Structure 1
Amino acid sequence: MVSSLPTATTAHHQHQINYLQISRQSSSSHHHARTAAALSRSTAYSNPITITDPNNPTVAINGLTKRAQDKQQNGKNGTHGHQWTVLDIGGMGLKNLSTELFSYQFLTTLYLNHNNLTFLTPEIRRLRNLTHLDISGNKLTSVPAELGFLINLKELFMFDNLLETLPPQLGTLYQLENLGLEGNPIKEPLMSILYKDGIAELIAYLRDNCPAPLPPPEREWLTFESEKSDAGEQDNNVFTILTYNILSEKYATSQQYGYTPSWALEWEYRKDLILQEILSYNPDILCLQEVEASQYEEFFCEQLKQADYDSVFWVKSRAKTMSEWERKSVDGCATFFKSSMFNILDKQIVEFTQVAMKHPDFEKTEDFFNRFMTKDNISGLALLETKDSKQQLLVANAHIHWDPTFADVKLIQVSMLMNEITRHGSEWIKSYRLGYKDISKLPILICGDFNSSPTSGVCEFLSRGSVTCDHEDLVDHNYGKFTSKGLAHKIPLRSAYSQIGELPFTNFTAHFTGVIDYIWHSTGMLSVNGLLGGLDAEYVSRNVGFPNAQNPSDHICLLAEIKFKAPQTGPTNPQFRKSSVK
């Protein structure tokens, strides 16, 4: 028997009562579907049609490219253009749910209200696109912790059940705007927090009091070395390199990472985890991205110096226009190297906007000013030399623009990076009399966060050595002569992790999981002996995203053991790998 409506004690309590009353009025079978049908009969139906510019069929009048239109029409968040994304099976008296329901991953709204359900299966976690879930008016004594994986939820109604508590894992539902709990015998302090401070504070309470997940197993070390040294013999031609986007403090906000406990987002907590992770792998060369100037100067430089590291730091271009105090929070790229193993011969910052302004082939087009020049990404080049064998190595530390709608900018930034590596590397070969015939023979490593998937134009360009002017990342944009004939470079490169087909991911958040970080090496003079494998899949499946208690960044680090190859005799031509990228 449904109890009468309570008397409100606060505005938040009144909000609960208002929605409770609406919920109780929707107990008839398929109430929401019937209401929607009645509304549609009384409303004129319209379907927006893309109007195409006949002079440029790939560009619509509304400004979207055809490719963007197609993506928009195909739906967002994996709904793939389904004609229906709402399912109402409320008021049916159901005691059980078919497992087939949880294969409908295109659903955005699901009504299970006013049935006789006594439990909800953890399989509901598969419905990641849900924004509205109503399980009110059932006989639920608990809800599964896996509800916390439905991070797109805006409304979660659980009125009139038998719930006494909530799993703290629901603290990951940071986008919730409406949470219905009235009509449940929920124990304190949950309802007091809800009545007094509202939904956001209750979710924050659950999130910050959620037990930390069990730590993952150690990442596996994968070996590819074909010619091993004798036992106990140190190979002076072998070194390790690690790249890591450590997530800048200013980017680690509760708005961006609302699923992460506030204490696990704090820089004071994360910085120690980052340092411990670095020291545990003890790389010979270390490339860090998103390092704030103050963090480099006051923490990393000091701490890593004690572990035999020397370093160089390049800050983003915007720092030039700031006061000394403001500059401290600007991030950049830091390259560290073991001072007992390497000397640094030279270094150079690559400021993409500054290089572009001086480049004669860049026309000052609308795309140039509105798309490219508004980004202040940088990369840093360091020319190192081993102390024992006097072998030189050019190490590039790159951080490319993040926004997926600016694929053209990413591709041009990486093309400019290759131009600058070629230019400065060639100058260094001459000025330091390095003995290499040309830049293709110089050992080169290019590490960092490229914000580009393995099938992107960026990776096609790096691995194949060129992209054509009609590549989908360039075709709709105008940068003058710089792109009119396509883009090319002459340094044969390979991703170190391509030997295993790349990792499952290098970046893991609630809304994105994919490979965007790389260690690229020149194939002429360097080979890969070993790699650090990915994180345990079972551990990953228990988490919504990073950062968390054990992983201080939304990225994971990459680590490779690299070997200098013996110099080749006779003339050779650059050999680029074939790619399946279309």
Structure 2
Amino acid sequence: KKHSQRRMSTSQGEDGSSAGAATAARQQLLAAVEQHCSNSPCPAGPLSRQFRQLIPSDSVMQSGQFRVLHWNILAQALTGAEGGSHFDRVEPGVTSWERRRWYLLRELLRFQPDILCLNEVDIYDYLLENLAPLGYRGCFRAKPRSPCLSFPGNFGPDGTAILYNTHRFECLQSETGLLIEPNEDGTEFLDAPSGAGSQVFVLLRLRLLNPPATDDSDGGGELWVAATHLKAKVTFSNLRLLQTKALITALKERVPANSPLLLCGDFNGESFEPFYNVIVQSGLDIASAYKQPEEPPFTTFKYVGKSAEPQARGIDYIWYRRLRPLALLEIPPRDSVESNGLPCAAFPSDHFCLSVDFCFCKN
């Protein structure tokens, strides 16, 4: 059964609900989510996760603090729920849409993010239908050659989305684009506007509502947010490098050098791959929020097919510039997911979400 395809506007200024109405809508949705999760097949509470403070919370003005969450939510078409499962250790029924839809919402709601950067989104209309009453608006770009389209009963192409809370931010500018890819012989590049690329990016310019006027903060409260999803599979390391270079060029052409910037995504590569150093040395002057002091050992943990060994890799990132990270959501310990991997009864994706609290700063 397909999710609702009701279209909702993502334009700025059409949200007539007050913050109080949004709070009431959130409480109502949370109650429905908890009821459906409790009554679902294989009911399970959420995985235990905690925010780790990087800077004492009492040293930051609350009005200048915001939370970003990045997550590859796992496209429904790629769960194997309709047959030919990709994840052999997943309990039957766990990835069915009627069950999973509620567990996805629970995970998105539980941390109350102000900005959501999402990959493998083939349910954008469903997300807006449920999150718009809470004050969220967004921007979505589908992959031109989405693998989801090859599966019977798919919900449409997957892509990348950014959603933001209109009670915290206003959107000043939005843009989406394609990342270039090489021709089959690898000698030249396909032009991104031709539609031949399969990976995309989304870019928003946001402004914090009522930013704090302090000596330590960037008083304008403007923030550029980019989200992307690079080519999968270990063998495509060189293609990820090329896509990263294309993304860096796009950001340099659009984002002023002194502006705060967030870059979130499933880069499908670990920190030893060439793309990582290219970002570090790009001149964008951005740092990885989860490098504390090393990147997490894994952000995805799954058993694919009949393999006895899990694919446990750290491939998701939140990069930042001219912002101060205050706290980050810790990755669960390995033993909490080692038996069957992800997705599981308690968690609906094969990637953990990353989340960081930031505040604006001058340096």
TM-score of the superposition, structure 2-length normalised? 0.76
| Partner AA of 1:513 in structure 2 | A
Q: Which of the residues 269, 287, 291 maps onto 1:498?
A: 291
Q: For 1:412, what is the secondary structure of its paired residue? A: helix
- Pair member with larger Rg: 1
User: What aligned pairs does 1:465-544 form with structure 2 within 5 A after superposition?
Assistant: 465=281, 489-510=282-303, 511-522=310-321, 525-541=322-338, 543-544=339-340
User: What aligned pairs does 1:174-189 form with structure 2 within 5 A after superposition?
Assistant: none
Of stretches 442-451 and 251-260 in structure 1, the one that deviates more from structure 2 is 251-260
Distance 2:104 2:45 in 1: 15
Give the aligned partner of residue 454 of structure 1: 271
Q: Which has the higher helix share?
A: 1
The answer to whether the 8 Å contact 2:49/2:330 transfers is yes
Q: Using a 3 Å threshold, how does the CA distance of structure 1 residues 553 and 330 change in structure 2: closer, same or farther? A: same
Give the aligned partner of residue 62 of structure 2: 235
RMSD: 2.8
Q: For 2:186, what is the secondary structure of its paired residue? A: helix
Question: Which structure carries more relative contact order (alpha carbon 8 Å, separation 6+)?
Answer: 2
Give the aligned partner of residue 244 of structure 1: 71
Q: C-alpha deviations, 1:304-356, integer Å up to 9, x for none?
A: 1122211111111238xx9xxx9951011111111011111111112013xx6
Q: Which of the residues 313, 316, 329 maps onto 2:143?
A: 316
Q: Does 1:219 align with 2:39?
A: no
Q: Does 1:558 align with 2:354?
A: yes
Distance 2:286 2:197 in 1: 26
User: What aligned pairs does 1:253-268 form with structure 2 within 5 A after superposition?
Assistant: 253=80, 254-268=84-98
> Structure 1 residue 418: deviation in Å?
0.9
> Structure 1 residue 215: deviation in Å?
5.2
Distance 1:536 1:498 in 2: 17
Q: For 1:459, what is the secondary structure of its paired residue? A: helix
| Partner AA of 2:143 in structure 1 | K
The answer to whether the 8 Å contact 1:375/1:401 transfers is no
Distance 2:43 2:57 in 1: 40
Q: Does 1:349 align with 2:145?
A: no
> Structure 1 residue 536: deviation in Å?
3.3
Distance 1:228 1:308 in 2: 27
> Structure 1 residue 391: deviation in Å?
1.3
The answer to whether the 8 Å contact 1:311/1:336 transfers is yes
| Partner AA of 1:532 in structure 2 | L
Q: Using a 3 Å threshold, how does the CA distance of structure 1 residues 369 and 504 change in structure 2: closer, same or farther? A: same
> Structure 1 residue 268: deviation in Å?
2.1
Q: Using a 3 Å threshold, how does the CA distance of structure 1 residues 214 and 246 change in structure 2: closer, same or farther? A: closer
> Structure 1 residue 240: deviation in Å?
0.6
Distance 1:443 1:227 in 2: 21
Q: Which runs of 5+ in 1 are unaligned?
A: 1-210, 357-361, 427-438, 466-488, 569-582
TM-score of the superposition, structure 1-length normalised? 0.48
Q: Which has the higher strand share?
A: 2
| Partner AA of 2:349 in structure 1 | S
Q: Which of the residues 376, 379, 383 maps onto 2:201?
A: 379
Q: C-alpha deviations, 1:357-395, integer Å up to 9, x for none?
A: xxxxx8x68215699997501111111111212411110
Q: Which runs of 5+ in 2 are unaligned?
A: 1-40, 212-219, 304-309
Q: C-alpha deviations, 1:398-420, integer Å up to 9, x for none?
A: 11000211111101101111110
| Partner AA of 1:519 in structure 2 | I
Distance 2:163 2:46 in 1: 27
| Partner AA of 1:505 in structure 2 | F
| Partner AA of 1:533 in structure 2 | E
| Partner AA of 2:144 in structure 1 | S
The answer to whether the 8 Å contact 2:77/2:155 transfers is no
The share of aligned pairs that are identical, in percent, is: 28
Give the aligned partner of residue 419 of structure 1: 249
The answer to whether the 8 Å contact 2:145/2:197 transfers is no
Q: Does 1:442 align with 2:242?
A: no
User: What aligned pairs does 1:183-198 form with structure 2 within 5 A after superposition?
Assistant: none
Q: Does 1:281 align with 2:111?
A: yes
Q: Does 1:404 align with 2:234?
A: yes
